[in-house]
A and B are shown apart, each in its own frame.
Chain A
């Protein structure tokens, strides 16, 4: 592979990822927005990849520069759960930093994603968060304890899910929190059948 020269331009990124991932890129979008009176541009890449190619894509990003993983966002989109890993590369070069938003779709029958903590150790916090908030399984995660949610929070409910595993019905009873400890609100909502 050719030596990578930093900073990379948006077109170079396009060519680089095409060479590394080929057909496994489902969608690729370059974006520039102007900031400041002098109209300097800030750069974004939005890239959707096949789930099978996810780790390869992260490895490709990690070979450019030790990347900064800002965070992984995630949301329930009905048929599938969408994860977006926001990486930053080209930092330390004034005005060149590029945000690579790497998207991967997980179907509801197989909500698993391999861990990337072996490539980027700093990813652990966000992977733990995705497990408890979206109900996905991060395979081989070094530490799978809960991070933010209280231990009284039910095991099979996830705050960012909009289907039957979400907490929409529970949130109506949130003010009755003393009883919550005795009987999980999720159970009670089922009995009442919602309102």
Chain B
């Protein structure tokens, strides 16, 4: 708390961290001057499971399913990074067909993730009809993922040198149908999230991340592309089959919008990426080469080879939330993975919170926090401490959410007038 002439001017407001239904609890401590945010300090680690330590006590094959369980929504992401890092370390070359299957799966996951995010964003500003709408249409891509891999979540598709399940000709009509379904709905999505005046009021010029901050703070993904930064691993350092495909950076200025870096721009980038993903999957289905789905079908022989292998590798990916990477080192006298470093997208985007929150209002906290698409579902509980008297005032998640909804209603009233 700061003091001026004996009167307190700022309050500290912790938000988070506990909620049993969250996949990742999280805490942000805010300093407030009245309604205005003057400082934001994120405190992650509420659910640190030491997964890297666990990985360093398992052999390289056992780490594949472990890596997949780092995150529920981007389970493919971590699996892909881990397997490509090991492939890099010991010179395993995946088959061409596997590269295309991997690309299709990763793009389906991106559609899933972005549609889910749009629902969360709508919920945070009080549009629960849109939450139910987006989560309903999300089922379609999950059904397709289940049809291909057998699972709705944690697809268990990856192996060293390729994938474990093929995408055969008879699946193409299903893929086509799903992509058409999203393409047909796209106009409606765009109308809701970009056209609706009340949503525009809550997202335009809110939570701005400037291009300079985005670069300096090493932010990743749609969070920085919304500010006009051209960073996309799929194009910059193409992995899987992306090098063969026609794909361009999704930044707002490509669609005649300004690269502002506010919540609106971030929504725009994510929605346009859904269309981009549909386009990429179409290209992949069309160009998919014939051949084997893995170059290392004998798992026992592969494990023997990996146990005595020596080398280090890096696996990078453009996850739905942004660039992420794994570093893996294998050494000859250690049959377990010798070093495994996991870095997810939100890790880098954590630093971008401070400039985005600065100067905004307490009712905007939920939508700005959601705008980087963090691996947290919602805000749990806020507590306002008056440091002078030591009195505590608590906000539950409902009350904080209510503040946000009220702001929308106030704005709607303004529009009607």
Question: Which chain A residues have a beta carbon within 8 Å of chain B's beta carbons?
Answer: 33-38, 40, 42-44, 66, 68-71, 73-75, 84, 86, 88, 90-99, 101, 120-126, 146-150, 159-160, 167, 171
Q: Which of B88, B231, B244, B347 contacts A36 (CB 8 A)?
A: B244
Q: Which B residues are CB-close (under 8 A) to A123? A: 218
CA distance A109 to B53 in the complex (A): 24
Contact of A71 with B341 at beta-carbon distance under 8 Å, contacts A97-B236, A122-B217 already known: yes
B197 sits at the interface (CB 8 A): no
B281 sits at the interface (CB 8 A): no
Number of residues on chain B facing chain A (CB within 8 A): 48
Nearest CB to that of A46 among chain B residues? B312
CA distance A149 to B338 in the complex (A): 22
Identify 20 new A-B residue pairs, CB closer than 8 A, beyond the known A36-B99, A94-B236, A171-B53: A36-B96, A42-B238, A68-B220, A68-B231, A68-B323, A70-B218, A70-B325, A71-B325, A71-B341, A75-B339, A84-B327, A92-B249, A95-B236, A95-B238, A101-B314, A121-B216, A122-B348, A150-B45, A159-B53, A167-B53
0 or 1 for each of B166-205: is its CB under 8 Å from A? (1 = yes): 0000000000000000000000000000000000000000
A-B contact pairs, 14 of them (CB 8 A): A35-B240, A37-B289, A71-B341, A73-B339, A74-B341, A86-B327, A95-B237, A99-B237, A122-B218, A125-B351, A150-B45, A159-B52, A159-B53, A160-B52
B362 sits at the interface (CB 8 A): no
Q: Is the interface of B mostly helix, strand, loop or mixed?
A: mixed
Q: Which B residues are CB-close (under 8 A) to A159? A: 50, 52-53
- Chain A nearest CB: distance from B217 CB in Å? 4
Q: Which B residues are CB-close (under 8 A) to A70? A: 218, 316, 323, 325, 343, 348
Q: Which B residues are CB-close (under 8 A) to A160? A: 52-53, 56
- Chain B nearest CB: distance from A42 CB in Å? 5
**Which has the most chain B C-beta neighbours within 10 Å: A69, A70, A146?**
A70
Q: Which B residues are CB-close (under 8 A) to A147? A: 44-45
Q: Which B residues are CB-close (under 8 A) to A98? A: 237
Verify B238–A36 contact, CB threshold 8 A.
yes
Verify A125–B348 contact, CB threshold 8 A.
yes
Q: Which B residues are CB-close (under 8 A) to A126? A: 347
Verify B351–A122 contact, CB threshold 8 A.
yes
B28 sits at the interface (CB 8 A): no
- Chain A nearest CB: distance from B365 CB in Å? 21
Nearest CB to that of A148 among chain B residues? B45
Q: Which A residues are CB-close (under 8 A) to B339? A: 73, 75
CA distance A96 to B240 in the complex (A): 16
Q: Which of A86, A149, A171 contacts B48 (CB 8 A)?
A: A149
Q: Which A residues are CB-close (under 8 A) to B230? A: 91-92
